[in-house]
Amino acid sequence: MSYGSTKGMLVTVNRLSEPVYNLFRIVIGLLFTTHGLSTVFGMFEGFMNTGEPIPVGLWPDWYGSLIQVITGPLVLIGLFTRPAAVLASGSMAFAYFMVHQPTGLLPMNNRGEPAVLFCWGFLLIAVLGPGRWALDHLLSRRREGAREKEMVRAS
């Protein structure tokens, strides 16, 4: 493929878009999960790098971290992907506007870049869906196969 061939590049990009998107969903889910685990259970240096878990029930941090521990793995494996991604995106929007934005307008000034990136990443996942490498996709294919068998039997 020559660099002057846009048709060849488009074919390559189209072929790679599904695997790259699925890897994006998996990595975002993994990062969100580890972020939540560090806060809720004190893993990976813990809450605010103290090595300790966050106090149970501390508003809003503990609840937001619990959302991360639940929705992160769901997005990672692609199960209930859209609702999990909507909840994760909303929780990060809340985190940005309630925790980060009051200390400065721009994310680079208020340490809110991770919240913004997670918010928009999960919104993208909610809109585009789980992708082919997801349990949602596998379960959907199984349901379709079962419906087809039922239709054949009914005929």
Angle, in degrees to the nearest 10, between helices 61-77 and 6-41: 140
Report pLDDT for 1: 45
35-42, long-range: CB < 8 A, 24+ apart: 35/65, 35/68, 35/72, 35/114, 36/65, 36/66, 36/67, 36/68, 36/69, 36/70, 36/72, 37/69, 39/65, 39/68, 40/65, 40/66, 40/68, 40/69
| CB 107 within 8 Å of CB 116 | yes
Total-model pTM:
0.83
Q: pLDDT (tens digit, 9 = 90+) per residue, 62-100?
A: 999 999 999 999 999 999 999 999 999 999 999 999 999
* Residue 85 structure tokens: 């991604």
Dist. CA 13–CA 94, nearest whole Å: 35
- Quick count: other Cβ atoms within 10 Å of Cβ 20? 12
C-alpha dist (Å) from residue 67 to 34, 90, 109: 12, 10, 25
Q: pLDDT (tens digit, 9 = 90+) per residue, 98-136?
A: 999 999 989 999 999 999 999 999 999 999 999 999 999
- Structure-model confidence comparison of residues 37 and 146, the more confident one: 37
